[in-house]
Chain A
Amino acid sequence: MAIATSTFKHTSLDFVQTALRMLPWPTEAGLRKIGNPGQESPVLITCNYDLTVRRLTRAMQGHDAWLLVAPSSGINVWCAASGGHLSTHQVVSALKTSGIKEKVSHKRAILPQLAATGVIGREVARRCGWKVRFGPVRAEDIPAYLAAGGHKSEEMRRVRFDTRERMEMAAAWGFPTAAVIALLFYFIKASWAAPLALWSIVCAFALFLFYDRLGEPRKLRFAAATALTACIATALVGGGAAALAAAAVSSLLLTALLTVDYPGSTPLEGGAHFAENAWQVKLDPALCDGVFACWEVCPESCFNKLEDPRKVEISHGERCIRCGACVVQCPKDALFFEDQAGQRIEPDIIRRFKLNLMGSRSVEA
């Protein structure tokens, strides 16, 4: 009974927090135990976003570890790190103030890989003596990562955007959009509120599941498909000419709204679709001396290690989502952003002002 209740609680919380994941869901920062950790147990650091903390705890069931929840304003790891809410300072603060120093005999901690857009590993070491490493992207890979002695497979390093992740992003965009539309139409034309809200959820799911898989002209194709579907659905439930026109127009508007620009909503944002506005990550091979920090944190495996001489090359630049993690982590400043006009944005600006797909888009000189 207790297990059933707890499962129900977790499932319903998962649902609510996924639908409303645009909002912060803060949980208390500080040190927690997973299982029965001792002096040698690994120290895992994460954000204070409730959904993440609960998922991580579930993924680690049956293992012993210290979980250090760093204050990230209740925002998830990738967004917080990229937007300036989970930086070196929050991690240093958590390591210093949580009392973890007294609990373990080592000074090694594992951060989620996606924190690499905001947390500078070597800075953490300089400020408080802890050596942090970037573990896998996903919490569920942590047990395998620990079992492999901290070896991260290609699979663990990649952000996959599989169907489940796409559905989550769709829910995160679809439900708030539906709520706003329902509220708006409740006052304009109440009978339209529910169907339009439902329709916006359907569109959001269609968008995240199929949009980036459509051929060009993508926006036009998507708009036509949604408008056609809306018209067919309206006709099937016996709508007249006015309802058909409304269905078509609302679908076009909705498509326009849903496809503007998606800061952080990968896979839609940052890929090839918005390339004309975006910066490119460039490598200065002369400065690279094969630290491979970029290779370690790139969520799209854009880099290739070369052995002689020991350097990296950008082998899959077309996959880059401009998260900036590589630029932030490179100790040699060999990586930087370059805009379309060929102007270079120095790595330090990226580090301090979070110029990336999620954070600021521009910084005043």
Chain B
Amino acid sequence: MSSLALMRWLESAPERYDRGMQWLTFGRADEIREAIAGEAVKAGTRVVEIGCGTGALSAKLLANGCEVTAVDQNPAMLEQARSALASASAGKIRWIEASAAEIDSLGDGVFDAVATAFCLSEMSPGERAYVLRAAARCLRPGGRLLIADEVVPDQRVQKLVHALLRGPQVLLGWLLTGAVSTPLAGLAAEIEAAGFRIVGNRGWLAGRFRLFIAESKGEAPA
């Protein structure tokens, strides 16, 4: 029995991830994805989605008429996304099994938007910096970067609450999703350092989840 539970934990189970994300965001995950999809439509139609998981955001992008290139490194998640969206996706979506770092092989300046939800917080700082620079390169000038993720809140009281909840939250997050995420502290600065101008942002759950909307300056730093 105990071993069965452990097996479930260690398995990278797609169902668990979705349910866990929904609990961790107090049911807001979907609302946040809705906001990203809305912004992506304003940017144009060609969207690359980093870390599509089981396709929750991909579905919303498709519903809004985007052409989606969905990238994820977990084959089990991709398989689930593929079968869930089989009927809705005809010719409008391309699935790529790869790490986020490999979006640099998709071509330069070929997308209108890069969208990603709850994915950057699972990366190391080095990976994040690389992926953000690669995102800048694959966008056309003026293309949009849409990142929603768990962040360290800006305000002092919220920060304190965050620090106190951190330990239990990591454990809970891991038990629920099987992933270890680190709320991002300097995401805005990282986005700007990669060659973007932030043009808007929105927060959820007392600033613990934030959507950044940034525009490519069209001159990605080397």
The A-B contact count (CB < 8 A) is: 110
- Stretch with Cβ within 8 A of B (4 or more), from A77-85, A159-167, A222-230, A319-327: A77-85
Alpha-carbon distance A108/B80, docked complex (angstroms) = 35
CB pair A84 B180 closer than 8 Å: no
A263 proximity list for chain B (CB < 8 A): 3, 6-7, 10
B98 proximity list for chain A (CB < 8 A): 89, 92, 127
A29 proximity list for chain B (CB < 8 A): 124, 126-127
Tell me whether A358 is interfacial, beta carbon within 8 Å.
Answer: yes
Tell me whether A299 is interfacial, beta carbon within 8 Å.
Answer: no
Closest 5 CB pairs of A and B: A89-B73, A97-B130, A29-B124, A93-B99, A89-B99
Main secondary structure of the interface of A (DSSP, over half): loop
CB pair B12 A85 closer than 8 Å: yes
B125 proximity list for chain A (CB < 8 A): 28, 30
**Which of A1-52 touch B at CB < 8 Å?**
22-24, 26, 28-31, 48
CB pair A92 B124 closer than 8 Å: no
Tell me whether B4 is interfacial, beta carbon within 8 Å.
Answer: yes
User: With A79-B10, A85-B12 given, is the CB distance from A93 to B2 under 8 Å?
Assistant: no
- In the assembled complex, how far is the CB of residue B187 from the closest CB belonging to chain A, in whole angstroms? 17
Alpha-carbon distance A263/B7, docked complex (angstroms) = 6
CB pair B123 A73 closer than 8 Å: no
- In the assembled complex, how far is the CB of residue A28 from the closest CB belonging to chain B, in whole angstroms? 6
Tell me whether B100 is interfacial, beta carbon within 8 Å.
Answer: yes
- In the assembled complex, how far is the CB of residue A299 from the closest CB belonging to chain B, in whole angstroms? 18
**Which of B39-78 touch A at CB < 8 Å?**
73-76
**Could you show 21 A-B contacts with beta carbons less than 8 Å apart?**
A26-B180, A28-B125, A73-B122, A83-B10, A83-B11, A84-B12, A84-B75, A84-B76, A89-B102, A90-B73, A93-B127, A94-B127, A96-B130, A97-B101, A97-B130, A99-B126, A127-B98, A257-B1, A260-B1, A260-B3, A352-B79
Main secondary structure of the interface of B (DSSP, over half): helix
- In the assembled complex, how far is the CB of residue B123 from the closest CB belonging to chain A, in whole angstroms? 7
Chain A contributes a number of interface residues (CB within 8 A of B) equal to: 45
CB pair A261 B4 closer than 8 Å: yes
Q: Which of A23, A74, A352, A359 contacts B11 (CB 8 A)?
A: A359
- In the assembled complex, how far is the CB of residue B35 from the closest CB belonging to chain A, in whole angstroms? 27
| Chain B residue at minimum C-beta to C-beta distance from A262 | B3
CB pair A71 B123 closer than 8 Å: yes
User: With A83-B11, A353-B75 given, is the CB distance from A22 to B6 under 8 Å?
Assistant: yes
B23 proximity list for chain A (CB < 8 A): none
Alpha-carbon distance A93/B104, docked complex (angstroms) = 11
Tell me whether B131 is interfacial, beta carbon within 8 Å.
Answer: yes
CB pair A97 B127 closer than 8 Å: yes
Alpha-carbon distance A358/B7, docked complex (angstroms) = 7
